Amino acid sequence: KQKATVVIYWHRTDLRLHDSPALQAALSLNPTTFIPLWTWDPHYVYKSRVGPNRWSHLLQSQTDLSKSYKALNPHQKLWVVREAPQTVLPKLWARWGVTHLVFEKDCDAYARARDEVVVRLAEEAGVEVIVRSGRTLFDVDEIVAKNGGKATMSMAQIEKAVEKIGKPDRPVDAPTAIPDPLEWDGMDLTGVEEEGDGVLEDGVDVNSVHRSGTDKQYAGIMGPGRDFGVPTLEEIGIDAGDVRTPHCGGESVALRLLARCIADEEYIGRFEKPNTSPAAFEPQSTTLLSPHLHFGTLSVRKFWWDVQDVMERRRKAKKSNASIPTNLPGQLLFREMYFAAHAAVGEPFCRTYGNPMVRFIDWHLQSKSPEEIAHGDAGDKLYEVDSDEAEVWFLRWKEGRTGFPWIDALMRQLKQEGWIHHLGRHSVACFLTRGGCYVSWERGAEVFEEMLIDHETACNIGNWMWLSCTAFFAQFYRCYSPITFGKKWDPEGNLIRRYCPELAKFDKKYIYEPWRAPIADQRKWGCRVTGDGSSSTNEDGNIYPKPMFDFDQRRTICLDAMKNAYHVGLHGDDKEVKDGSWRKA
Ligand code: FAD
């Protein structure tokens, strides 16, 4: 009698069927039983900051995948269980008689540590583990090796490293058939959740964070009466009213979005990131595929090759294409660069402490006081930042109540919809750190982690370091003005009118600086500019806050503080360039 091949395919970073090398490897085992599995990992459920929009995106992605499985085999679905993978997987492979565990490689620091434990336990249990790269264009460990074992910290380095590897593999086809799971009696896990105490041999209690969750979140998915289904928002304790993003999750959505972009060959060929508007909405000016790359509902290799094929057709037709790094392949290489940097540095990549790649900046020190600036003093001394004031600025930034409409509109768009354009991210990140509030990038990265639907540890951390000029890029002379930068893209202030509706009626002359509008006009346009942002109305009706500081003054303070942090002297001959940014003269 032929020996049974019972395969768990563990979905993590890959909620898709198309172009999945790991799924292909799993199916090529010709399983007698195949179980596509998702385990709720307490690390993500309780330790990561995940806002309602990203939760919703994830559940939509799971539901879509589950449907796709069912379409290929009515006995199938995405089998969802809730417990730390390190403890639940051994129970599952004992109960289900599993012979193979297959998954896509994940090089994030936490995932690597978790997977090492899982692989060791599998080996002890005699379960064969198969791992394939597929989350990135190339195996990022290979990129690191080609970069001399070092973190990739520039586009030149990533380009050189991938040139040594060659082209990414072409996408593999989606499966057309999926084997059966076990009969229901065999799948049933009643009682299994009681087994084991969640403590690994080495004393690590992987479920400890589990216990600190709310009862609702803890509610077992494996217990009697449960059907391994994708939970509803309600079941995981999220109020559906808090989900405000219009951007939907799921492989079928991702493939439709990609197809729509690819069909517009002119858009693909001419795409140059710096020429895409951060103020565009409905439609946005970039592809908005980042959440799908994050959840793996879109394969990055498919994205890459579909774009390359368009560019090749255009080349043959003698039509021009934009080039790296500003074109779409360039964007995907930035993603690759951050993934490889994270893979090389490991866990310290996510913070300043112990991170060899990041410049230490003491965000508590600045080199001029407002009084000195007011008196035109040079100010060679260092001052402690007023941390209470900085905390207030941080909270106002987070809530979109700084009194600078461009910044507030972007932060409110982020909070409501979970996505903002790359240059919008530049604006708000620069403003929070070296170009306004002088607050540590780590605080900002935490807010993005909570709010972004495309939150990707490597890309988020890497870009925050870039924007705060603490790693990757150090032109701190260039600073985004919250007034002139937005105006250049959107002179009518449409983005502001959309996300700060209290300012919707303001004349375009004042839309970026509403505090300059005469009081009679403010009244006429239905909103007074007053207060500190703690309230959105007063006895007269709508109010919008006054700017929380004098931006020009803050820019000077920050620039000097950065010079000091870089030890380049406090009296550089900088000049302001047209778009309101600063460059070294
Ligand atoms: P497109 O311009 O259409 O680009 C296509 C794809 O290329 C994107 O989907 C993305 O996967 C990749 N890409 C483009 N630019 C970058 C970049 N600079 N770094 C890494 N990948 C890039 N991107 C994330 O995916 N997750 C994050 O958590 C994240 N945090 C960021 C934080 C800050 C402070 C900044 C400045 C940028 C951040 N980015 C992040 C990068 C970038 O802003 C987004 O990838 C991009 O805006 C997503 O929109 P899109 O899909 O329309 O991009």
Q: What is the pLDDT of residues 274-332, one digit of tens each?
A: 999 999 999 999 999 999 999 999 999 999 999 999 999 999 999 999 999 999 999 99
- For ligand 1, atom 31, the nearest C-alpha belongs to 460
Average of per-residue pLDDT across 254-263: 98
Please tell me if the CB atom of residue 303 comes closer than 6 angstroms to any atom of ligand 1: no
Distance CA 446, CA 49 (A): 7
Q: DSSP state, 143?
A: H
Q: Which of 287, 292, 286 is nearest to 249 (CA)?
A: 292
Question: What is the distance of C-alpha 97 from the center of its chain?
Answer: 37
Q: Which of 47, 5, 83, 58 is nearest to 453 (CA)?
A: 58
Average of per-residue pLDDT across 344-357: 93
Distance CA 347, CA 328 (A): 29
Q: What pLDDT score was predicted for residue 276? A: 98
Please tell me if the CB atom of residue 332 comes closer than 6 angstroms to any atom of ligand 1: yes
Instruction: Find the 332 Cα to ligand 1 centroid distance in Å.
Output: 9
Q: What pLDDT score was predicted for residue 318? A: 98
Question: What is the distance of C-alpha 214 from the center of its chain?
Answer: 25
State the closest ligand 1 atom to the C-alpha of 464, by its place in the atom list counted from 1: 34
Q: What is the pLDDT of residues 169-227, one digit of tens each?
A: 999 999 999 999 999 888 887 767 555 544 444 444 444 433 334 444 444 444 434 67
Distance CA 374, CA 402 (A): 22
Instruction: Find the 119 Cα to ligand 1 centroid distance in Å.
Output: 32
- Non-local (6+) Cβ contacts of 473 within 8 A are 466
Please tell me if the CB atom of residue 450 comes closer than 6 angstroms to any atom of ligand 1: no
Q: What share of the chain is helix, strand, coil (3-state, %, to 5)?
A: 45, 10, 45
Q: What pLDDT score was predicted for residue 441? A: 96
Q: What percent of the chain has pLDDT over 90?
A: 74
State the closest ligand 1 atom to the C-alpha of 337, by its place in the atom list counted from 1: 20
- What are the backbone angles phi and psi of residue 421, rounded to the nearest 5°? -60, 155
Tokens of 187: 């799948």
Average of per-residue pLDDT across 136-144: 98
Give the strand pairing for 537-538 and 541-544: antiparallel
Q: What pLDDT score was predicted for residue 196? A: 52
How high does pLDDT run on average in the chain?
Answer: 89
User: Residue 581: pLDDT above 50?
Assistant: no
Tell me what ipTM this predicted complex has. 1.00
Q: What percent of the chain has pLDDT over 70?
A: 86
pLDDT band at 584 (very low <50, low <70, confident <90, very high): very low
Helix (H, G, I), strand (E, B) or coil at 585: coil
Interhelix angle 300-316/251-263, rounded to 10 degrees, is 10
Q: What pLDDT score was predicted for residue 52? A: 93
Task: Specify whether the backbone of 96 is left (phi greater than 0), alpha (psi in -120 to 50) or beta.
Answer: alpha
- For ligand 1, atom 10, the nearest C-alpha belongs to 290
Distance CA 356, CA 352 (A): 8
Per-residue CA distances from 293 to 12, 298, 300, 433, 509 (Å): 12, 5, 6, 28, 40
State the closest ligand 1 atom to the C-alpha of 444, by its place in the atom list counted from 1: 34
Tokens of 344: 């090389």
- For ligand 1, atom 48, the nearest C-alpha belongs to 290
Please tell me if the CB atom of residue 337 comes closer than 6 angstroms to any atom of ligand 1: no
Q: Tokens 């987070």 appear where? A: 398
pTM to 2 decimal places: 0.93
- For ligand 1, atom 11, the nearest C-alpha belongs to 290
Instruction: Find the 289 Cα to ligand 1 centroid distance in Å.
Output: 9
- For ligand 1, atom 5, the nearest C-alpha belongs to 331
Question: Is residue 432 within 8 Å of 551, Cβ to Cβ?
Answer: no
Q: What is the pLDDT of residues 74-90, one digit of tens each?
A: 999 999 987 789 988 99
Q: DSSP state, 416?
A: H
Q: Which of 331, 450, 478 to mutate to test the pocket of ligand 1 (most atoms within 8 A of CB)?
A: 331
Instruction: Find the 240 Cα to ligand 1 centroid distance in Å.
Output: 27
Distance CA 165, CA 136 (A): 13
Q: What pLDDT score was predicted for residue 382? A: 65
State the closest ligand 1 atom to the C-alpha of 273, by its place in the atom list counted from 1: 2
Instruction: Find the 335 Cα to ligand 1 centroid distance in Å.
Output: 7
Please tell me if the CB atom of residue 361 comes closer than 6 angstroms to any atom of ligand 1: no
Distance CA 437, CA 554 (A): 7
User: Residue 479: pLDDT above 50?
Assistant: yes
Q: What pLDDT score was predicted for residue 561? A: 87
Please tell me if the CB atom of residue 247 comes closer than 6 angstroms to any atom of ligand 1: no
